């Protein structure tokens, strides 16, 4: 199998990351940030600074004081008030870091503290003056199919649950950074940009320049997971502002603490589910209320919420469905795009609820869920017909064969007096790519294949390599079509001056949508191969003609297609410490037909562990608007010792519209791990889990409550 072309350079630590980059005369820039979650700024005292050092505030911004994310409602530098702890107020630029810190020590900001909006309840109650608009509602979206309330009345039994999940930090190993270099009336910005195309637009606003004066050059990205999408705009705009003011190359590097406390994360959530079950023990109606805890501005919460709502009911078919979602503003940093995109939270909720209902009905939770799984020809919650085969039964069979789930389930709890074992399984799906047909998001997203005079092929695109292996996959696709060795095909880190705007990497659409563009371009190039000299073929993405989508009514094919999966997680729980140890992980996925098994398996391994970290140990809490964990010492992610070997399998189900039958793999394996973990803990202890992460403290509460009630 093909070895990725960046492997050796990465082993040597010389793969072109930001931290290998430096420019003559480059200044370091420090961001001075708000210490309070909500306050007016009475005054800012800046000490006299030595020549060559600069303190920059909002009045130095030549254009508009805006950091563009989706809407332009977020000030790049705070003016007279701050809305979250960590909000940027000033920049200090200069050649020596120690001197910059001395200047920072001399800065005094006099605040007028106000009561912050902290929780989802604060945001919806309206007792505290709103952070956003008149009601803190950043975005709301919802739909109903059938008649939910009427069905509840007719139901034999009705069940209600409430679920909560916390923040999850992306924790890419390479922290955020940016360098801006002023050059002959233009500004070149370097950074690990997941979506390069948004960078020139964002930088153009505070500079007040046309976008063609800004060039974004992507450096090799040291992990992203959604955290280097919209989040890169702020640090890049700040470095560009500093470079504009100083007329020197300016570098901003966040250390881990600054990265954790000031950049986006997975949205915390509160999800309420009510379901009505008939006399045949079938769920006839489901109502879901999804509330995501947003930040102080619009951010990208609306987009994350969109996926939460559209995928809320998981891989199940319910005749009557009502889903309502809101993203609510609070005085916190803006959460944002994070692998799994709002579906990790909803899947935990629907999976746990379904199992909970099954137990109360005295039915095996897996059988109960399998009985409600969508089938080919069924309609999804957004009323899309599932055109392709749904291979959840085969997926579950595969996971059961690997894990021994059915043999182990419910039989391990009594095995030891102080250590209880349990096993759980989660079923899930993830829609990708999003259908953009007929929406404002529909615009050309081309990429180019260039055959050089020497017969090599270069792929020109702003799709970014995050580590997932997209470069290798695109080269493999082109190599298979053109029938030339993969070594003769190359794809570099994007440069917005050179490459067509393909968009960037995100939302699990790289392989399925743009890999297909590579395939089509390669076919055209092959037809023209005998032409002399250089040849270029440009290809835009194509959405399948049969898709129908009504954005306003939330009806139709919300996604082109769906990937499907199941994961079984086995745990042992120490009753004395309430610590959970993961002892087994087995997963199977239908991602169509993978282009490169090894890379696809790597995506699954990493995503499963990220999902388990979210479910088990990654605690990030706000106390009065201040994040209580800020370093790797207190925000712990899974180490090699915390996780066992993972076994996995792909159920092949070629997707006719994907390149060589491929569907998306980047996000789906993140979706179900925490839900399966919760089920395993429930199996071990005979309790119902309602919150993530499942910390020893939370588990102790559950165990005590169970003891008290029995």
Question: Out of 632, 652, 700, 705, which residue is the one contacting another protein (CB under 8 A)?
Answer: 632
Is 607 an interacting residue with respect to another protein (CB under 8 A)? yes
For another protein, the closer CB: 122 or 169? 169
Residue 380: C-alpha distances to residues 74, 96, 318, 396, 430 (Å): 36, 58, 8, 20, 12
Structure tokens at 167: 């923040």
Taking the CB of residue 39, how many other CB atoms lie within 10 A of it? 22
Q: Is 452 a binder of another protein (CB under 8 A)?
A: no
- State the minimum distance, in angstroms, from the CB of residue 13 to another protein: 3
Find the part of the chain contacting another protein (CB under 8 A) among 67-75, 133-141, 550-558, 635-643. Answer: 635-643
Alpha helices in 468-596 (DSSP H): 470-482, 516-527
Q: Which of 226, 431, 467, 494 binds another protein (CB under 8 A)?
A: 467
Which of 216, 466, 676, 684 touches another protein (CB under 8 A)?
Answer: 466
Which residue lies nearer to another protein by CB, 37 or 672?
A: 672
Shortest reach from residue 220's CB to another protein, in Å: 7
Q: Identify whether the C-beta of residue 94 lies closer than 8 Å to the C-beta of residue 27.
A: yes
Q: Is 610 in the site for another protein (CB under 8 A)?
A: yes
Within 296-391, residue ranges assigned H as helices are 301-310, 343-361, 365-370
Structure tokens at 193: 């940009």
Compute the least distance from the CB of residue 508 to another protein, in Å: 16
> Contact region for another protein (CB under 8 A) — 64-72, 283-291, 628-636, 701-709?
628-636
223 vs 544, beta carbon nearer another protein: 223
Residue 573 makes CB contacts below 8 A (sequence gap 6+) with: 419, 420, 421, 422, 579, 580, 581, 681, 684, 685, 699
Q: Please tell me whether residue 17 binds another protein under the rule CB under 8 A.
A: yes
Applying CB under 8 A, does 99 fall inside the site for another protein?
A: no
- The conformational region for residue 124 under phi > 0 = left, psi -120 to 50 = alpha, else beta, is alpha
Size of the site for another protein (CB under 8 A): 56
Based on CB atoms, which residue is closest to another protein, 508 or 517?
A: 508
Cβ at position 426, least distance to another protein in Å: 17
Interface stretch with another protein, choices 373-381, 462-470, 685-693, 699-707 (CB under 8 A):
462-470
Closest CA to 189 of 197, 177, 180: 180
Q: What are phi and psi of 39, to 5 degrees?
A: -165, 155
Q: What is the DSSP letter of 171?
A: -
At 399, phi and psi to the nearest 5?
Answer: -65, -40
The whole-angstrom separation of Cα 284 and Cα 347 is: 19
Q: Binding another protein by CB under 8 A: which of 15, 283, 288, 327?
A: 15
Closer to another protein by Cβ: residue 13 or 533: 13
Taking the complex as a whole, the smallest distance from the CB of residue 598 to another protein amounts, in Å, to 4
Binding to another protein in span 157-186, by CB under 8 A: 170-175
User: Which burial class, exposed, middle or buried, applies to 363 when counting CB atoms under 10 A from its CB (0-12, 13-18, 19+)?
Assistant: middle
Closest Cα partner for 468 from 563, 339, 647?
339
d(CA 327, CA 7): 40
Q: Shortest approach of another protein to residue 657 CB, angstroms?
A: 27
Per residue, the 3-state secondary structure of 77-140, as one string, reads CCCCEECCCCCEEEEEEECCHHHHHHHHHHCEEEEEECCCCCCHHHHHHCCCCCCCCCCCEEEE
Indicate the residue among 147 and 642 with the shorter CB distance to another protein: 642
Q: Is 469 a residue that touches another protein (CB under 8 A)? A: yes
Q: Does 7 bind another protein (CB under 8 A)?
A: yes
Q: Which is nearer to another protein, 224 or 558 (CB)?
A: 224
Comparing CB distances to another protein, the nearer of 180 and 224 is 224
Q: Does 220 bind another protein (CB under 8 A)?
A: yes
Q: Which of 433, 606, 625, 693 binds another protein (CB under 8 A)?
A: 606
Gap between the Cα atoms of 551 and 547, Å rounded: 12
> What b/e string do you get for 196-209 counting C-beta neighbours within 10 Å, with b at 16 or more?
bbbbbebbbbbbeb
Is residue 579 near another protein by the rule CB under 8 A? no
- Judged by beta carbon, residue 85 or residue 599, the one nearer another protein is 599
Strand partners of residue 321: 145, 286
- The residues that bridge with 29 in the sheet, in sequence order, are 93
d(CA 591, CA 552): 29
Helix axis angle for 597-616 and 673-685, nearest 10°, is 50
Minimum CB separation from another protein for residue 2, in Å?
10
Contacts for 105 with CB less than 8 Å, ≥ 6 apart: none
Judged by CB under 8 A, does residue 24 bind another protein? no
Site string for another protein, 222-261 (x = CB under 8 A): xxxx-----------------------------xx-----
Q: Specify whether the CB–CB gap between 23 and 181 falls below 8 A.
A: yes
Residues 513-572 within binding reach of another protein (CB under 8 A): none
Binding residue for another protein (CB under 8 A) from 641, 707, 709, 710?
641
Question: CB of 413: closest distance to another protein in angstroms?
Answer: 26
CB of 100 to another protein, least distance (A): 15
- Smallest gap from Cβ 642 to another protein, in A, equals 8
Binding residues among 646-675 for another protein as defined by CB under 8 A: 646
- Binding residues for another protein, per CB under 8 A? 3-4, 6-15, 17, 19-20, 170-175, 220-225, 255-256, 466-469, 598-599, 601-602, 604-610, 631-633, 637-643, 645-646
């Amino acid at each position: 199998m093909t070895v990725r072309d960046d492997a050796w350079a990465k082993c040597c630590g010389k793969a072109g990351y930001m931290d290998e980059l430096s420019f003559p005369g480059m200044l370091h820039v420090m961001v001075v940030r708000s210490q309070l979650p909500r306050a007016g700024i009475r005054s800012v005292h800046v000490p006299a600074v030595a020549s060559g050092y600069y303190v920059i505030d909002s009045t130095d911004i030549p254009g508009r004081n805006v950091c563009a994310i989706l809407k332009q409602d977020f000030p790049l530098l705070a003016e007279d008030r701050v809305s979250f702890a960590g909000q940027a107020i000033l920049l200090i630029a200069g050649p020596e870091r120690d001197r910059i810190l001395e200047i920072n020590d001399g800065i005094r900001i006099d605040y007028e503290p106000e009561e912050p909006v902290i929780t989802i309840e604060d945001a919806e109650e309206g007792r505290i003056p709103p952070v956003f608009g008149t009601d803190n509602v950043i975005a709301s979206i919802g739909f109903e199919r059938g008649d939910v309330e009427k069905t509840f009345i007719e139901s034999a039994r009705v069940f209600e649950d409430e679920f909560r999940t916390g923040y999850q930090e992306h924790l890419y190993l390479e922290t955020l950074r940016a360098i801006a270099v002023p050059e002959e009336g233009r500004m070149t910005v370097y950074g690990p940009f997941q979506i390069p195309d948004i960078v020139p637009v964002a930088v153009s606003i505070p500079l007040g320049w046309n976008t063609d004066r800004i060039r974004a050059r992507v450096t090799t990205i040291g992990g992203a997971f959604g955290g280097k999408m919209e989040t890169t705009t702020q640090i890049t705009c700040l470095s560009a502002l500093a470079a504009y003011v100083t007329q020197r190359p300016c570098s901003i590097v966040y250390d881990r603490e600054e990265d954790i406390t000031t950049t986006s994360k997975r949205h915390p959530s509160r999800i309420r589910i009510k379901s009505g079950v008939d006399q045949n023990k079938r769920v006839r109606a489901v109502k879901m209320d999804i509330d995501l805890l947003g930040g102080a501005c619009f951010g990208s919460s609306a987009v994350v919420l969109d996926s939460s709502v559209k995928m809320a009911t998981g891989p199940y078919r319910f005749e009557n469905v009502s889903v309502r979602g809101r993203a609510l503003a609070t005085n916190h940093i803006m959460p944002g795009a994070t692998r799994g995109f709002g579906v990790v939270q909803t899947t935990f909720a629907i999976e746990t609820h379904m199992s909970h209902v099954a137990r109360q009905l005295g039915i095996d939770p897996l059988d109960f869920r399998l009985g409600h799984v969508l089938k080919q020809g069924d309609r999804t919650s957004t009323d899309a017909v599932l055109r392709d085969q749904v291979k959840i039964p085969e997926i579950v069979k595969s996971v059961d064969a690997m894990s021994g789930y059915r043999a182990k389930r419910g039989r391990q709890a009594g095995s030891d007096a102080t250590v209880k074992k349990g096993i759980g399984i989660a079923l899930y799906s993830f829609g990708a790519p999003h259908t953009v047909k007929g929406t404002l998001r529909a615009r050309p997203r081309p990429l180019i294949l260039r055959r050089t005079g020497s017969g090599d092929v270069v792929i020109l695109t702003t799709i970014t390599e995050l580590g997932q292996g997209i470069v290798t996959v695109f080269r493999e696709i082109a190599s298979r079509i053109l029938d030339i060795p993969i070594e003769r095909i190359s794809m570099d880190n994007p440069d917005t001056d050179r490459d067509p705007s393909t968009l960037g990497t995100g939302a699990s659409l790289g392989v399925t949508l743009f890999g297909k563009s590579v395939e089509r371009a390669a076919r055209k190039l092959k037809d023209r191969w005998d032409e002399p000299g250089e040849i270029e073929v440009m290809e835009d993405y194509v959405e399948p003609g049969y898709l129908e989508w009504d954005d306003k009514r939330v009806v139709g094919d919300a996604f082109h297609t769906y990937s499907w999966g199941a994961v079984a997680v086995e745990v042992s729980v120490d009753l004395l410490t309430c610590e959970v140890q993961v002892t087994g992980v087995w997963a199977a996925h239908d991602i169509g037909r993978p282009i490169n098994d090894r890379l696809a398996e790597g995506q699954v391994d990493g995503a499963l562990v990220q999902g388990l970290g979210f479910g088990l140990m990654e605690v990030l809490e706000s106390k009065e608007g201040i994040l209580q964990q800020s370093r790797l010492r207190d925000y712990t992610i899974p180490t090699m010792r915390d996780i066992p070997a993972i076994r996995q399998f792909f159920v092949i189900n070629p997707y006719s519209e994907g390149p060589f039958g491929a569907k998306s793999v980047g996000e789906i394996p993140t979706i179900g791990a925490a839900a399966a973990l919760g089920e395993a803990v429930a199996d071990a202890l005979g309790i119902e889990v309602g919150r993530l992460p499942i910390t020893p403290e939370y588990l102790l509460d559950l165990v005590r409550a169970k003891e008290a009630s029995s």
